[in-house]
Structure formats: C-alpha cells, structure tokens
C-alpha cells in the first residue's frame, strides 16, 4: 500500500545495510532513511535488524517502525509496534496520538476511544487534543454509522484489479486511466513495492468488466520514478498528472504537477506547471467542468495542516493565475486530497481530517451562500480502510479507489452507483377487517368494500372480504380515500382513510420496491328494525317547522346514509317536550317531520323510502322532565329502519 500522499507521488531511494555496524550506528542510518529520505520500507528493515541487539532501545525502535508503517499506510502492521513501544515506556506525544488513530484505522473503535480519552488528559498538542475530543465523542456511535443505510452500491472491478495497487481511476467513454505498480521493476524504498506508473484500461465492447491494461508511453512513465493521478479536461485536450523526482540532487525535490496538450494528433512532451512548487508536494489534480480551473492537493506552507486542497484558474490568454486555498470549511489539519467535480457542481474529495471511519474517507462539499457544508458519503462508499479518488462516469455512476478488506490486494478500483434517483415502486396495502360494533371479536362475514378517491370522487376499487371479515386493497401513496363497507344484515358504514405521510420520503427509499402494510378496522352495526337512531343538532326556530341551515347539515348525513344503504326504508320521527298542549305538539312535530322528509327527498331520495311521523311529547326520553337540559333531550329528531328490500 501507499501512504495517502504517496498515492499521488513521492521520491525514490535505495538502501544498503551494513551487517557489522553497532546499534547506535545503524539507528542513525535508519533515522536518516526515515527522516531525510522518507524511505520508510528501507528504514523498517534497518530498525528491525537492530531490535535483536542487546543494547537496542526497543521502545524507540518499535515506535519508529510503527511510524514508518503508518507513513507508508500499513496500519495493521503498525499496531503491534505502537503497543510494544508504549509498553517499553516510549511515549512521545506523537506516538500516543498516532496509536489512537491507528486503532481507529483498524476498526478497533472501543480501544481507540480509550486511547483518545487518555490523550485528552495528557496530550501536549492543543490541536491534537481537540481532535481527540472529537473522536472520543464520535467513536461510541460508530457502529450505528456503519450500519446506516445508503443509496450507494459498490462493486470491485475484478477484471482490472490485481494483487498490486490499482488506484486513481479517470473515466472516458472508451477507457479508464489508472495508476498501478503492477509491473514490478525496481523496489521503491518508501513502500517496498514497485514504482507506480500510468495505465489505460481499454473497454471491450464498452464493458468496464472486460478489457485490457496498457502502460502509457515513456513520455508519461519514466524509469524509477512514480507517476500517478492523471486528470483530463472535459474536452480531452489537456492532461495533468503528478510525477515524483528520481532521487538525484538536480531537479525537483518533491512531487510536482505536469501538463501535456493534445495537438495535431499527438500529446506534447509533459512540462512542469508553473504554479507547481519544486520545493513542496503537489498532487491529485482534477479539472473543473469547464476545464479552466485545476483543483489539486498540496503540502505547501500556509495551509490548515497536512495536505490541503487548492485551486488555480487560467485566464482568457491561457495563463495560470494565483493559487487559492479552498479554506477551513473544507481543509483540515489532516490530509485533504483527491478532489473531483460532479456535474451538479459539488466537490468530492478524500480526507483524514473530517469525521470518518478511519483512514481516508470520501466526502462531498456543497456550497450555499458562500459556505461549504461537508458530508461523509457513508457506508458502503467508505470503510475502515482508505477510500479515495472518486471520479464520475455520469450523474449516478463512477469509480473510486479503496484498500478495504475483500479486495484483490492493496488498492483496488471499485465502481459505484448512487440509486437515490432510481425509480422506486411503493406498494401500499390496506389490510382491513370488518367487525361487529357490539362485539369486536365477531367478524362481519364477506363484507364488500367500495373505495373512492376523495379528490376525484372516482371509484378506485371494490374488494370483497372473506368469511373472517378480512379484505385487502392496493392504494396509492399521499391520497385520501372514502370506504363504503356493506354486508348482509349490517348498515353500510362509511369511513375515511388516508395514506398521506404513511410512505417513506423518496430520499429514504433504498430498495427498488417497497411494500407497506397498513391495518384498518371497521365496526359495523347490525340492522335492527324499529330501533331509534337519533339525529343530533336538528333544531327549529320557535313554533316553526322550517329547516334551518344547521339542521340541513345534519340531514345531509341522513341523505348519505340512505344513499349508502339503498335497500333500506325508514321512518323519520320528530318529538317535542311536554310543554304546550298535546294536540298542538302533535301537529307541530308532524309538520317538522314532513319538512325534514321534504328536504331529504329534494336531495334525490325516493319519497317511497321515507315516512314522516310526528309524535309530539308522547315518547319522551326523560319522563317528567323539569329542566331545560331534560326538555332538550326530549326535543329530538330520530329515524328508524322499517324495512330492508331483498
């Protein structure tokens, strides 16, 4: 594996180990390899050779081996050496903090939390203490974050990947450009693997899972030099990539960005970009959609710490302007790298500084009102390994790199699909049951349910229930319905049902098809002939029989009842209280009943189905009433079912 910035490039180096030097002499040699040349793999070889010597400072040596593995991005190998160093009493501030980060990178969140908490108490760096506090707050919730659902799916591009490192894909309609150390050759002292070169993966019949890898020409791949992270402008005429030095004293001291232009049918010889500093690391190039701005990552002074993201724009004459840091809302004190622009103008990048699962995680930055909001892409795009170098194929699909478990070895290239805007089907099933209102344990056998759409009034469906009173209807989301349930021997029951808010929001749908079952119970009343059913709020003006507006509202309910129960005939009765002469009360109640029937008939109900009957005060609900409340109970309008047609 390659340390994060080594994936975008680093310098070369070799080492020879003298077998008879003292521990002190060998330690100095290893330290030079480690600190001056950055040849971590070579340094590890020397440090390990010293460990067996009796005079060896085992705490220091284990710490240096751990740091070398960390810096060459081999966290699993680093962990036991951190532990051994600390147990031997070697506890510099950097080792204590990096051990906690190492445990996190290895997915050991509980142990990492304990180490971060210990560092918060004793840490010397205010910046690292602040980071440790943030990690301590997050890590206890990491298991929940790891299982949080996502619209992304990922797949290893197995045909392309090998046991070597393949990373930093760049998509074109006919091929992927990528970086790999697959061809062997001289060993790179920083990692113990071969040098990285630029390759193409030419699709077979447009299928990324079928193709052939080809190393790019020598102009782009020099011997014993790392090249990586190629980017093309949208028009395909400008190519930028990162290139390390060759270990010689002359020339650039670190990694730089080179550019090549496609003219007259061929690529020009790559040249150093003028803003790429020969004294600091510049890598991970990416073009804006219009090709006028180049984003890249750099360790140059003046950043937030670690590698920061920068941008530089060409003017109308093609001259590059001043380099601008993307600011503290995006850049952190960790490593912020591998920028990429999506078609909707969002910036995607990888970072170790923002809250993540360990190592490099993929993030998206959305700018609104001049402020950038950064969001972790979550699982499965991110893992406890390094996830980086995302590039888009289209709005929903693309590729990225990862050294997660389950790959072919080292870094692999993965394809991804964001299914958030994929068509999603929602099935909403109303699982209803009709029961007797006097005993909910008794079902209403074989109910018929007619369902109408409240907005259009149209019948959506009619379903028949079984002997247990159960029925099922297929409904649409975000709709309001009316249900008319009828059954032999029961009064038709009108009910309301809404699916509004019952289905998940579109962004919360993850599967191509989602089924939602909703329960609904309808209590139905048995038909009982001559049983009085009171109509509430049927009021008349004093000594008058005309229907008031408020009475009309209530009588409309009876109209609905008669429409719903088309085989039913009724008697509509009006009653007075005991005050007044009996003969007068009978006449007034009869007129009121007839007035109510006339109103109902005017609404389209067959007059043959309704009989008007005034009872005066002959059927009081409260005999011998003496208060206004009791008289009001006796002044009422009722109806009773008199016949049910066959």
Is a pLDDT exceeding 80 seen at residue 12? no
Give 542's pLDDT tier (boundaries 50, 70, 90). Answer: low
Q: Kindly state the average pLDDT of the residues 574-589.
A: 92
Asked: is 425-524 a CATH 3.40.50.720 domain? The reply is: no
Question: Is-contact 198 179, C-beta < 8 A?
Answer: yes
Alpha-carbon gap, residue 470 to 517, rounded angstroms: 14
What is the pLDDT at residue 540?
Answer: 67
Straight-line distance from the first to the last Cα atom of the chain, in angstroms, rounded to the nearest whole number: 85
What is the pLDDT at residue 249?
Answer: 44
What is the pLDDT at residue 244?
Answer: 86
What is the pLDDT at residue 127?
Answer: 86
Span 361-415, pLDDT tens digits:
999 999 887 788 999 999 999 998 999 999 999 999 999 999 999 999 889 999 9
Is a pLDDT exceeding 70 seen at residue 101? yes
Long-range CB contacts for residues 303-306, cutoff 8 Å, separation at least 24: 303/331, 304/328, 304/331, 304/332, 304/333, 304/336, 304/353, 305/127, 305/332, 305/333, 305/334, 305/353, 306/332, 306/333, 306/334, 306/335, 306/336, 306/352, 306/353
The total of other beta-carbon atoms located within 10 Å of residue 466's CB is: 13
Which position has the higher pLDDT, 370 or 177? 177
Alpha-carbon gap, residue 366 to 370, rounded angstroms: 10
Q: What's the distance, CA 41 to chain centroid?
A: 39
Q: Kindly state the average pLDDT of the residues 240-265.
A: 78
Which position has the higher pLDDT, 286 or 145? 286
Preceding amide of 521 cis, omega within 30? no
Is a pLDDT exceeding 70 seen at residue 595? yes
Name the average pLDDT for the chain. 90
Alpha-carbon gap, residue 624 to 579, rounded angstroms: 11
| Fold matches, 425-524 and 532-644 | no
Which sign does the torsion angle of CA 613, 614, 615, 620 carry?
Answer: positive
Record the pTM: 0.74
- How distant, in Å, are the alpha carbons of 219, 223, 237, 296, 349 from that of 267? 9, 19, 9, 22, 28
Give 95's pLDDT tier (boundaries 50, 70, 90). Answer: very high
Give 440's pLDDT tier (boundaries 50, 70, 90). Answer: very high
484 pairs with which residues across the strands? 450, 494
Give 20's pLDDT tier (boundaries 50, 70, 90). Answer: low
Which position has the higher pLDDT, 17 or 41? 41
Q: Kindly state the average pLDDT of the residues 506-511.
A: 88
Phi and psi, residue 548, nearest 5°: -85, 165
Asked: is 152-421 a CATH 2.60.40.10 domain? The reply is: no
532-644 CATH pick, 3.90.1150.10, 3.40.50.150, 3.30.1330.60, 3.30.530.20: 3.30.1330.60
Please report the beta strands in 50-165, taking only residues with DSSP state E, as ranges in sequence order: 152-156
Give 17's pLDDT tier (boundaries 50, 70, 90). Answer: very low
Alpha-carbon gap, residue 165 to 401, rounded angstroms: 10
Q: Where are the domains of the chain?
A: 4-146, 152-421, 425-524, 532-644
Is a pLDDT exceeding 80 seen at residue 19? no
Under CATH, to which class is 4-146 assigned?
Answer: mainly alpha
């Amino acid at each position: 594996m390659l340390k994060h910035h080594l994936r975008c490039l680093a310098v070369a180096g070799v080492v020879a180990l003298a077998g008879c030097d003292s521990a002190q002499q060998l330690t100095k040699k290893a330290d030079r390899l480690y600190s001056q040349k950055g040849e971590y793999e070579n340094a590890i070889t020397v440090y390990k050779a010293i460990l067996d010597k009796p005079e060896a400072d085992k705490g220091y040596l284990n710490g240096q081996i751990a740091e070398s593995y960390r810096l060459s991005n081999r966290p699993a190998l680093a962990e036991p050496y951190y532990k051994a160093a600390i147990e031997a009493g070697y506890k510099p501030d950097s080792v204590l903090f990096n051990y906690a980060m190492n445990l996190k990178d290895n997915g050991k969140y509980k142990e990492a939390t304990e180490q971060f908490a210990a560092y918060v108490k004793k840490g010397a760096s205010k910046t690292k203490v602040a980071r440790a506090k943030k990690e301590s707050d997050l890590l206890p919730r990491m298991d929940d974050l790891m299982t949080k659902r996502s619209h992304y799916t990922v797949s290893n591009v197995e045909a392309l990947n090998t046991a070597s490192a393949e990373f930093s894909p760049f998509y074109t309609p006919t091929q992927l450009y990528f970086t790999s150390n697959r061809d062997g050759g001289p060993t790179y002292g920083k990692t113990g693997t071969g040098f990285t070169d630029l390759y193409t993966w030419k699709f077979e019949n447009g299928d990324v899972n079928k193709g052939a890898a080809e190393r790019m020409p020598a102009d782009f791949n020099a011997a014993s030099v790392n090249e990586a992270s190629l980017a093309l402008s949208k028009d395909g005429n400008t190519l930028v990539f990162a290139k390390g030095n060759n270990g010689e004293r002359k020339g650039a001291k670190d990694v730089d960005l080179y550019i090549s232009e496609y003219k007259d049918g061929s690529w020009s010889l790559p040249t150093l970009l003028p803003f790429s500093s020969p004294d600091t690391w510049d890598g991970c190039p990416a073009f804006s959609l219009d090709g006028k701005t180049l984003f890249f990552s750099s360790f140059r002074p003046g950043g937030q710490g670690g590698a920061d993201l920068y941008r530089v724009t060409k003017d109308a004459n093609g001259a590059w302007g001043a380099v601008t840091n993307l600011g503290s809302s995006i850049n952190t004190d960790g490593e912020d790298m591998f920028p990429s622009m999506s078609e909707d103008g969002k910036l995607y990048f990888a970072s170790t500084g923002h809250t993540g699962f360990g190592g490099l995680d993929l993030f998206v930055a959305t700018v609104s009102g001049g402020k950038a909001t950064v969001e972790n892409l979550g699982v499965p795009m991110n893992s406890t390994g390094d996830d980086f170098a995302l590039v888009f194929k289209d709005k929903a699909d693309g590729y990225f790199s990862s050294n997660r478990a389950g790959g072919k070895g080292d870094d692999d290239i993965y394809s991804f699909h964001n299914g958030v805007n994929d068509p999603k089907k929602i099935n909403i099933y109303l699982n209803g049951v009709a029961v007797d209102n006097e005993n909910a344990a008794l079902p209403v056998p074989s109910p018929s349910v007619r369902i109408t759409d409240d907005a259009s009034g149209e019948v959506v469906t009619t379903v028949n229930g079984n002997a247990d009173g159960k029925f099922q209807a297929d409904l649409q989301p975000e709709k309001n319905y009316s249900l008319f349930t009828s059954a032999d021997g029961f009064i038709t029951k009108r009910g309301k049902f809404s699916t509004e808010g019952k289905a998940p929001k579109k962004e919360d749908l993850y599967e191509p098809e989602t089924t939602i079952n909703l329960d609904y119970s309808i209590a139905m009343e048995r038909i009982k002939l001559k049983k009085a059913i009171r109509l509430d709020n049927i009021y008349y003006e004093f000594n008058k029989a005309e229907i008031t507006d408020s009475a009309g509202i209530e009588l409309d309910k009876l109209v609905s009842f008669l429409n719903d129960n088309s085989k039913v005939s009724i008697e509509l009765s009006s009653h007075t209280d005991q005050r007044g002469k009996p003969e007068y009360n009978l006449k007034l109640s009869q007129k009121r009943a007839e007035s109510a029937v006339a109103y109902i008939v005017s609404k389209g109900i067959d007059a043959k189905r309704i009989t008007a009957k005034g009872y005066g005060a002959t059927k009081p609900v409260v005999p011998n009433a003496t208060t206004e409340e009791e008289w009001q109970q006796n002044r009422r309008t009722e109806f009773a079912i008199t016949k049910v047609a066959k």
